[in-house]
Amino acid sequence: MMSYVAHDETELIPPLEVEEEELYHPKTFIGKYIWCQDAKVIAIQYTITAMGVGLLALVLSGIMRLQLGFPNSFSFITPGAYLQFVTMHGMIMVVYLLTAIFLGGFGNYLIPLMVGARDMVFPYANMLSYWIYLAAVLLLVASLFVPGGSTGAGWTLYPPQAIVEGTPGAGLGIILMLLSLMLFIIGFTMGGLNYVVTVLQARTRGMTLMRLPLTIWGILMATILALLAFPALFVSAVMMLLDATLGTSFFMPAISVAGEMLDYQGGSPVLFQHLFWFFGHPEVYIVALPAFGIVSDLIAVNARKNIFGYRMMVWAILIIGGLSFVVWAHHMYVSGMNPYFGFFFATTTLIIAIPTALKVYNWVLTLWRGNIRFTVPMLFAIGFLVTFVNGGLTGLFLGNVPVDVPLSDTMFVVAHFHMVMAVAPIMVVFGGLYHWYPKVTGRMLDPTLGKIHFWVTFIGSYSIYFPMHYLGILGVPRRYYSIENISFIPESAHTLNVQITIAALIVGVVQLVFVYNLIRSYFKGEPAGPNPWEATTLEWQTADTPPRHGNFGPELPIVYRWAYDYSVPGAVLDYIPQNQPPDSLPARETDDNPQAPPS
Amino acid sequence: MADTMVGSNLSAVRPGLATVVEDWSSDQRAFKNVTWGKAMMWIFLVSDTFIFGSFLIAYMTVRMSTTVPWPNPSEVFALTLFGKELPLILIAIMTFVLISSSGTMALAVNYGYRKKRITTFLLLMMTALLGATFVGMQAFEWTKLIVEEGVRPWGNPMGAAQFGATFFMITGFHGTHVSIGVIFLVIVAIKVIRGDLDSEKPGFMTGRKGRYEIVETMGLYWHFVDLVWVFIFAFFYLW
């Protein structure tokens, strides 16, 4: 006698509340694959574009490292060009790669499939979202080729230096950068509204919010953060654009450049910093929360255990999202704020550590005594845990005002944020790609190449960023073209820089293995079948792999349980799909005559 | 009775926090009886609130931190009518026009749900006309400021340079919102008069069935734009 234990019993199949919307079915090739309204195709378009521009940013970081490791060996890396590479690398990685791939890529693919919807609620706006994003990317890339080159103001684009003569790309470069950001935000808003409304209003029968996979919770909360945080960036971009083109003085104080007074007066550079970081700090969580969500699912699937403390995980995501709006000025301890502000923002910053640590404990407790399968996605998930804890701990240093002040603008900061919001989320991006690639293409990625990719990336990232903490404590400044002939920097710092550069180049090159794996497996990969990881969530229960337009067959699935029924005692298999009814309920009969809504 | 009940299933609505919790714990939809379009518009408006909020906070910051005196709004925005200098008269008329357009919009929503095609069309067009009048008067105000008083985004003869910068940027952004609203009001009005919403004709690009709820969704946007104007009015003209 076997018995299925549902996480929460559902005796009744809830009645269908709204009739299904008719999907827009394109007939031409262009309508199906180019101007496509299917969220899955849009997701692939987003992912490929983001990875392409991300590769560009990876190359830029390699060039930066060449200069730092082997100063003055490469004539094309001038001080100005170096700053431009730093800026473009940062901006691309944070906004155009990570934000776009998590929300536009994973969000578009997984939200309709995981909540049991045919598509996003507004497929047309969703399509526009991608094309506007592409335009933003093209504008960004175009700024590399305009006279004066792209902006070299650092990814934070602080005025006055971003728009005054003497900064690389102070003319067209910064203008294109700002226009590109504004386009990105407009495009994102179109997609973001779709993601939120689809999760809140277009779930299938039986899919309550507390049965959503954590992936969806992470993406939902990140999208809400983005919808509320990007406006501040949009506004500051508009104002800086006016400062740069019309000569207004929003952010520009009276300032003299090269001995000459400029026409500006009375603006407030600190205002920009407040607006920027009101966007910039939630942006960290826009990148981190989807990673939290996806990694929870990767760990649960591969540990064959339910996620530990599901409700706590959900509330932690919500609390982190809320808190992320009241910590922004911890990026500005050295900007000249009232010390009481520093006290407030340090306190809120440290409070965020509580829900975050809670999540880490829950991930570790999910692993504890699990039946762990060391698949490639699982390796990346564990890699995320390690790098994230590491980066999180240095966050405690930098959140405290007295510790932050001497460490500000040193390599310590670079090491911290790369650990916590570059390496950690990108580990999850890789893990997610290895995990869902079989659903997207119907073929597995090669696990041997995957393991090479993981170990070189993981160990390589550590040998890049771990020594940087040491450099930072020595006082090696960030964004410096050269640290030669600075008396307090010892010889060991230069030796370390060489080692870091070599590690960085190796990590850069090994990403080509991943790209090769993606392309090769598309044609020659092992056929995956519908559910290669034996996972419970709805995207693995589709009629076709890859899923067709409309995602599910003629009938939408009905959800009877949460997303984490792994290794349920007494069950036949060690996983029970979300749409498998409890014993007492016959599978499909009730579908034909859904109960009339109560009048 | 039938007339007042159209558009919402009132029998399903119970008061109290318990029902909110119930709705959010349920499947399919968190906001019961709220269509996708309406939910999307509400969430968009929350996002847009942050845009205007950031603009206004930036305006307050620069106004407080600038060391040069701020021009006196009652003098700058005064208009000479019939030989008398009247402070804020133009802006009073503009505000009256825009608030009136909210009234006609609300009526249009109501008549839309009653499927009174012609009345809805006329009310929508009247709303669009009032909105266009507002934008026209704003153009007149801008012209007067630029040509007669010499206000420019980068400076003005009366005081702080940020006066022109913030004024043109924020009213310009609001005016753009009103203009976009007018365009969409006309589009919705055309859909109404053609009978697209009665016959549930699919949209040209989206393939979605036309329904009278789009009049309400349009109304949400329009009322929001009016509400934003109230704040701009208070912060720019009365401060």
Judged by CB atoms closer than 8 Å, whether chains meet at A14 and B48 is answered as no
SS3 category, A481: coil
In angstroms, rounded to a whole number, what is the distance separating the alpha carbons of residues B112 and B117? 7
Residue B81 C-alpha, separation from nearest chain A C-alpha, in angstroms: 32
User: DSSP per residue over A235-246, as a string?
Assistant: HHHHHHHHHHHT
Rounded distance, CA A428 to CA A385, Å?
Answer: 10
From CA B30, how far away is CA B52, in angstroms rounded? Answer: 27
Q: What is the mean pLDDT of residues B75-95?
A: 83
Rounded CA-CA distance A109/A40 in Å is 5
Token duo for residue A198: 């689809």
CA–centroid distance for A147 within its chain: 32
Residue A189 CB coordination number (10 Å): 23
Only one residue has tokens 């030796």, namely A495
Report chain B's C-alpha Rg in angstroms.
21
Range 92-131 of B in CB contact (< 8 A) with A: none
Task: Please check whether residue A172 is in contact with residue A179, taking contact to mean a CB–CB distance below 8 angstroms.
Answer: no
Closest chain A residue by Cα to residue B51: A231
CA dist B168 and A82 (Å) reads 37
What is the bridge-based pairing of β-strands A256-257 and B84-86?
A: unpaired
Contacts of A485 (CB under 8 A, 6+ apart): none
Please report the pLDDT score of residue A588 as a whole number.
46
Angle between helix A172-201 and A214-245 (nearest 10): 150
The residue among A363 and B79 whose pLDDT is bigger is A363
Tell me which residue of A163, A156, A149 sits closest to A181, measured CA to CA: A156
What is the residue-level pLDDT of chain A in tens, covering all 599 positions?
344 444 454 456 778 887 777 777 777 777 777 888 999 999 999 999 999 999 999 999 999 999 999 998 999 999 999 999 999 999 999 999 999 999 999 999 999 999 999 999 999 999 999 999 999 999 999 999 999 999 999 999 999 999 998 899 998 999 999 999 999 999 999 999 999 999 999 999 999 999 999 999 999 999 999 999 999 999 999 999 999 999 999 999 999 988 889 989 889 999 999 999 999 999 999 999 999 999 999 999 999 999 999 999 999 999 999 999 999 999 999 998 888 899 999 999 999 999 999 999 999 999 999 999 999 999 999 999 999 999 999 999 999 999 999 999 999 999 999 999 999 999 999 999 999 999 999 999 999 999 999 999 999 999 999 999 999 999 999 999 999 888 999 999 999 999 999 999 999 999 999 999 999 999 999 999 999 999 999 999 998 989 998 899 888 999 999 999 999 988 888 999 999 988 755 544 444 444 434 43
- Residue A324 has what DSSP assignment? G
Residue of A23, A203, A266 lying closest to B68 (CB–CB): A266
Query: Does B27 sit within 8 Å of A206, measured CB to CB?
Result: yes
Q: Which residues of B touch A228 (CB under 8 A)?
A: 46-47, 50
Interface contact flag, B65 A18, Cβ < 8 Å: no
| DSSP, residue by residue, A85-99 | HHHHHHHIIIIIIII
Which residues of chain B does A194 touch, with a Cβ-Cβ cutoff of 8 Å?
40
Under an 8 A CB cutoff, do A250 and B162 touch? yes
Coil, helix or strand at residue A560:
coil
Q: Which of A419, A225, A416 is nearest to A324 (CA)?
A: A225
Cβ neighbours of B162 in A, within 8 Å? 248-250, 266-267
pLDDT at B13: 58
Best probe of the A interface among B35, B36, B42, B46, by most A CBs < 10 A, is B36
Residues whose CB falls within 8 Å of the CB of residue A128, separated by 6 or more in sequence, listed in order: A187, A190
pLDDT for B7 beyond 90: no
pLDDT at residue B12, rounded to an integer: 55
* Predicted pLDDT at A156: 94
Residue A26: the pLDDT is 74
Q: Compute φ and ψ for B80, nearest 5 degrees.
A: -95, 115
Q: What residues are paired with A566 via a beta bridge?
A: A575
Nearest residue on chain A to B21, judged by CA atoms?
A209
What's chain A's length in residues?
599
Residue B67, chain A, CB below 8 Å: the answer is yes
Domain ranges of chain B: 1-32, 37-238
Residues of A in contact with B154 (CB under 8 A): 246-249, 263
Measured N-to-C along each axis, helices A269-303 and A310-323 cross at an angle, to the nearest 10 degrees, of 170
Residues of chain B with Cβ-Cβ distance to A205 below 8 Å are 27-28
Torsion of CA A198, A199, A201, A204, to 10 degrees: 100
Q: Work out the angle between the directed axes of helices A123-142 and A172-201 (0-180°, nearest 10).
A: 160
Nearest CB to B67: which of A228, A266, A278? A266
CB contact set of B32 (below 8 Å; sequence gap of 6+): A17, B12, B23, B26
Give how far A595 is from chain B: nearest CA, Å. Answer: 15
Distance CA B237, CA A444 (A): 64
Q: Which residues contact A594 (CB under 8 A, 6 or more apart)?
A: A13, A15, A16
pTM of the entire structure? 0.93
- The answer to whether residues A183 and A146 touch, using CB atoms and an 8 Å cutoff, is no
pLDDT of residue A367: 96
Across the interface, whether the CB atoms of B36 and A204 are under 8 A apart is answered no
Nearest to B213 by CA among B37, B50, B83: B37
Taking alpha carbons only, the member of A401, A397, A409, A296 closest to residue A353 is A397
What span, in angstroms and rounded, lies between the C-alpha atoms of A225 and A347? 21
The residue behind tokens 């995207």 is A539
Sign of CA dihedral A238, A244, A246, A252: positive
Interchain CB distance below 8 Å, A203 and B55: no
- Could you tell me which residues come within 8 angstroms of residue A228 by beta carbon, excluding any fewer than 6 positions away? A282, A325, B46, B47, B50
Measured from the Cβ of residue A161, the count of other Cβ atoms closer than 10 Å reads 16
Q: Mark yes or no for CB contact B26/A14 under 8 Å.
A: yes
User: Is B160 in the A-facing interface, judged by CB distances under 8 Å?
Assistant: yes
What confidence score (pLDDT) does residue A592 get?
Answer: 43
| Topology (CATH level 3) of domain B37-238 | Four Helix Bundle (Hemerythrin (Met), subunit A) (1.20.120)
CA pseudo-torsion sign A328, A409, A382, A431: positive
Residue B40 CA to residue B217 CA, distance in Å, equals 9
Largest Cα–Cα distance in chain A? 89
